[in-house]
Amino acid sequence: MRSLRVAVAGLGIVGSETVRLLRSRRDCLRRRIGAPIELAAVCDRRAPERARRLGLPASVRRLTDPRRLPALRDVDVFVELLGGLDEPRRLALACLRAGRCVVTANKRLLARCWDELRGARARGGGRLWFEASVAGAVPVLRAIESSLAGDRITAVHGILNGTANFMLSRMEEGLSPEAALRRARKLGLAEKDPSLDLDGRDAADKVSVLASLVTGAWLDPRRIPTRGIRELDARDIAFAGEVLGRRARLLGMVRLDGPAGRVEACVSPFLVPREHPLAAVRDEFNAVMVRAASAGELMFYGKGAGAGPAASAVLGDIVAAGREILSGKAAPPAPPAAPAPRPAAADCAFYLRLSALDRPGVLCAITSKLSRFGVSIATIHQPATGGRDACVMITTHPAKPEIFGRALRAILALPAVSRRHAVMRLLS
């Protein structure tokens, strides 16, 4: 009986767990695929040492250079778990151009090289699977691609970065942002470079993957308005809970504007009403809400990162790829690129915290900047601080994000206003 031969590139957090599960669940995977699954090769800078630690038999080839992988003619599925961009890009393109099958968990690769990967697939006939790249074990990409293939998706939004959500959950309990980040790092939740989590860029890559999948046209993450949680502190979290009855959550959002063909995407901290399902999502959990014309609102919830959840999604892709390969069916052709949707930005209410000199006329100067740009104030609070600086918290009525941004720049240019500030959107 023919077996499914797999090569795993990257034996780090996800790669090691994937290899461990491939071996320990061999019998169960065999039943699911209908053929034995065989680990043919592993590739890692420290492949010999890591293979030994994983107890791999001598029959598993150990490579240290990912560029040698595409030359392995007997491999059916290449699993890319290297992280980063250059080597994964080279490996994925080489395999896809040669009509091979690639499984990856790399959101950065997909977000940056979507069109290139699609082109390589279209030319070479290869196949690309990437469930683990967004929300880890939460099977939201497959639901969009398969279960909802007959529906029209109008919006996808949710908590896509477990580290930011973990930090916001700890800040709700009174921890400082610095202590919350330390705790996340201690638990191995934060990216090696925590700015990817804190500045929202990790979430923007995932929004790019979701938007590209839903629209069929690549949305470059660099074009997604992105704001992270770095500027938030205990005052914002307390004000949100005590005064507004809301919780801060970093959300990624894609909204499609039906026949007008416009797409709105953003990453931002949002103030979510306490009774909203996303407000109940705590710690490192992810939750993605998908709105479809016929199905209505669906919610997907689970662990978005970690060795087990990511490896579970990778294994699911290997099984799906294996079934397709062993059935002898040709891989479906790469979908043609859809025309790039025009960007849109729906009106949205904002929360703004400012620090300004506590002296007569300053509050008036701030509010008149907002009114000059036509941004209407909903509430304004100035808790007593007793110091020389006042803290001003403003919520607005819905305004165009671009107009609000211009008003904010004008406010921050006032000499009495500090440049340190915080902005969140209000989820309606």
Ligand X SMILES: NC(=O)c1ccc[n+]([C@@H]2O[C@H](COP(=O)([O-])OP(=O)(O)OC[C@H]3O[C@@H](n4cnc5c(N)ncnc54)[C@H](OP(=O)(O)O)[C@@H]3O)[C@@H](O)[C@H]2O)c1
The minimum distance between CB 55 and ligand X, in angstroms, equals: 17
The minimum distance between CB 43 and ligand X, in angstroms, equals: 6
By beta-carbon proximity to ligand X, the closer residue of 15 and 316 is: 15
- What is the sign of the dihedral through the CA atoms of 144, 22, 193 and 175? positive
Q: Which residues contact 14 (CB under 8 A, 6 or more apart)?
A: 81, 105, 132, 307, 310, 311, 314
**Residue 206 among the catalytic residues:** yes
By beta-carbon proximity to ligand X, the closer residue of 187 and 260 is: 187
The minimum distance between CB 64 and ligand X, in angstroms, equals: 6
Q: Which residue is nearest to ligand X (CB)?
A: 12
- The conformation of residue 76, written as its DSSP 8-state character, comes to S
- The conformation of residue 216, written as its DSSP 8-state character, comes to S
The minimum distance between CB 84 and ligand X, in angstroms, equals: 6
Task: Kindly list the residues in this chain that would bind ligand X in the complex (CB under 6 A).
Answer: 10-15, 44-46, 66, 81-84, 87, 105-107, 132, 136, 305-306, 310
By beta-carbon proximity to ligand X, the closer residue of 113 and 305 is: 305
CA gap 68, 160 in Å, rounded: 34
By beta-carbon proximity to ligand X, the closer residue of 84 and 174 is: 84
Find, among 338, 253, 383, 308, the residue nearest to 24 by Cα.
Answer: 308
**Backbone torsions φ then ψ of 18, nearest 5 degrees:** -60, -45
CA terminus-to-terminus distance, the chain: 57
**Is residue 190 classed exposed, middle or buried when 0-12, 13-18 and 19+ CB atoms within 10 A define those classes?**
buried
Given 206, 303, 329, 369, the catalytic residue:
206
The minimum distance between CB 132 and ligand X, in angstroms, equals: 5
Would you say 395 and 206 are in contact if contact means Cβ atoms under 8 Å apart? no
Q: Under DSSP, is residue 424 helix (H, G, I), strand (E, B) or coil? A: strand
Find, among 47, 114, 51, 104, the residue nearest to 79 by Cα.
Answer: 104
By beta-carbon proximity to ligand X, the closer residue of 7 and 370 is: 7
User: Catalytic amino acids?
Assistant: 206
